[in-house]
Amino acid sequence: MSEEWTTQLGGYLAAARWFGGKGRAFEVTDVTRMALLPGERPVAIDVVTVTYDDGAEEELYQLPLALVPEADPSLDHAFVGWWEDPELGWVHAYDAVHDRVACGVLLAAFGAQDTVGRLAFHRLPGHDLDLDAPASLFSGEQSNSSVAFGEDSLLKVFRKLGRGRNPDIDIHAALTASGSTHVARLYGWIEATSTVTDEPVHLAMLQQFLRTATDGWDLACASVRDLLSEADLHADEVGGDFAGEAARLGEALAELHASLATDFEVREWGASDLADLADAMAGRVDDAVAAVPYLEGVAPAIRDILGRVRGLGRPVRAQRIHGDLHLGQTLRTVAGWKVVDFEGEPAKPLAERVLPDAPWRDVAGMLRSFDYAAHAVVADLAPRTEEDRQQLEYRAREWAERNRGTFLGAYAAAAGSSVPLDRDERLLLAAYEADKAVYEAVYEARNRPSWVGIPLAALERLAAQESESEGSA
């Protein structure tokens, strides 16, 4: 492994959308060849070790490389480097997900259910792959890379790797076996074994391509725009009213949680577990106040909510959940709502992402997403006057409250909870909402300062509501 090659790899990683170490000093300290797949265009599956100058734990990233002897101008945007490969000699290396021919090599390995080098291509029965389908890379993804093969299948390539089973694969495998209608069917996956721990390392998954799907975030934002374009109508009077979809989404999530409770471990959280949960959330509040001083104004009310969570008088069910649910993780198809991307919160270690948690975390994520959709549209409109802005904000809150309420009512009814929620359920949900909004406030302050008002306003409303609720209890 030459210094020139590791420098080229580092440069490509630093510019990649899916690289999680942006803004931090790092170097590539190792490259492990998992396999070289033969074909019309050989594909090397390499795992790159990234070491950070700040002493943080090293990270592993996957780079599937199309290796060709001559430069291909059509792939200039995916050029990684020029180097002497130990097996092929001097080659031009391109990120393989951008190359249709190279993606065809990956698909062919699934078709043959090959074991190549240290990789095993696993297949589940029940679907005949279209091995001649053309490849097309999805654009815009932040943490992984997905390639569609015609209208038949979708290959999701995990970029940041962890040692251990990937929850996205495990959950899709379980729900595919149980016949859940709320996920895409799993067709197969690529697996290796860690040389460090002998644990499996999941590199990619192949699943059903939902060709009729529309992104839930896009649908919700379109509904908000419909409302804001009709100055004299309320949310329930506009042709693009989203409430029916919000209700169906709530029912789908409840059914999904029920399936996960059947297929995975369920625990009963007692007083000590709830105290640990509240302590972890309180720690995140303290960290957030240091990063966003404005949060100091609402921090006492949030801490009060968490203090009452510590005193909850009944057990809480904890189970496998999605863990990072929002409208952008949902797809509306002709067959109903589907949920995608079960990897959990990307910032958390893999071992934490597979731990049982209360289903209310997923519910809170969706409630926050409805609020975000409404106010993100307003932020993009850039109203001309303060009066216009206030009017748009008022109507956005109307949309958010209608759809949040409809979603929550449908979820609670389908999940067997009381409608409306009882005091303990409402309190726990408020804690999860506050935890999510605190995370959002820090993220926006660092990345999108003009949007930080969205989570801050939500925290102010949540603090006021819970204060009123406690006072009337």
State the chain's mean pLDDT as an integer.
Answer: 93
* Mean pLDDT of the 15-26 span: 90
* Beta strand ranges found along 320-437 (DSSP E): 330-333, 336-339
Q: What is the spatial distance between Cα 234 and Cα 395, in angstroms, rounded to a whole number?
A: 8
pLDDT at residue 86 greater than cutoff 70: yes
Asked if residue 471 has pLDDT above 60, the reply is no
Phi, psi of 305 (to 5 degrees): -60, -45
DSSP states of 148-172: EETTTEEEEEESEE-SB--HHHHHH
Q: What is the pLDDT of residue 220?
A: 97
Q: Are strands 119-123 and 200-208 parallel, antiparallel or unpaired?
A: unpaired
Q: Which residues of 7-27 are buried (b: 16+ CB within 10 A; e: fewer)?
A: ebbbebbeebebbbbeeeebe
**What pLDDT does residue 286 have?**
96
- For the cut 70, the answer to whether the pLDDT of residue 468 exceeds it is no
* DSSP β-bridge partners for residue 153: 149, 208
Quick: pLDDT tens for 196-215.
Answer: 777 889 999 999 999 889 99
Torsion of CA 287, 291, 296, 299, to 10 degrees: -40
- β-bridge mates for residue 205, sequence order: 156, 189
**For the CA atoms of 306, 457, 342, 278, what is the dihedral angle to 10 degrees?**
-10
Alpha-carbon gap, residue 451 to 371, rounded angstroms = 12
Q: Residue 35: what are its φ and ψ, rounded to 5°?
A: -170, 155
Task: Give the pLDDT band (50/70/90) at residue 469.
Answer: low
pLDDT for res 333: 96
Is the pLDDT confidence value at 420 over 80? yes
Distances (CA, A) of 234 to 14, 394, 395: 47, 11, 8
Residue among 151, 463, 438 nearest 298 (CA): 463
Q: Which residue has the tokens 């803004």?
A: 23
For residue 1, what pLDDT is reported? 67
CATH code of 214-321+356-472, in short, is 3.90.1200.10
Quick: pLDDT tens for 367-386: 999 999 999 999 888 778 88
Bridge partners (DSSP) of residue 318 are: 267
pLDDT top residue among 62 and 232: 62
| Burial class of 52 by CB neighbour count within 10 A (0 to 12, 13 to 18, 19+) | middle
Q: How far apart are CA 355 and CA 352, in angstroms?
A: 5
What local confidence, expressed as pLDDT, does residue 141 receive?
A: 64
- Domain residue extents for the chain: 3-208, 214-321+356-472
Q: Please state at what angle helix 360-381 crosses helix 243-263, rounded to 10 degrees.
A: 150
Q: At what angle do helices 386-415 and 243-263 cross, to 10 degrees?
A: 40
Residue with tokens 């990649």: 16
Q: What is the DSSP letter of 184?
A: P
pLDDT, tens only, 264-309: 999 999 999 999 999 999 999 999 999 999 999 999 999 999 999 9
Contact 209, 148 (CB under 8 A): yes
**Residue, of 141 and 83, whose pLDDT is higher:** 83
Q: pTM surpassing 0.95?
A: no
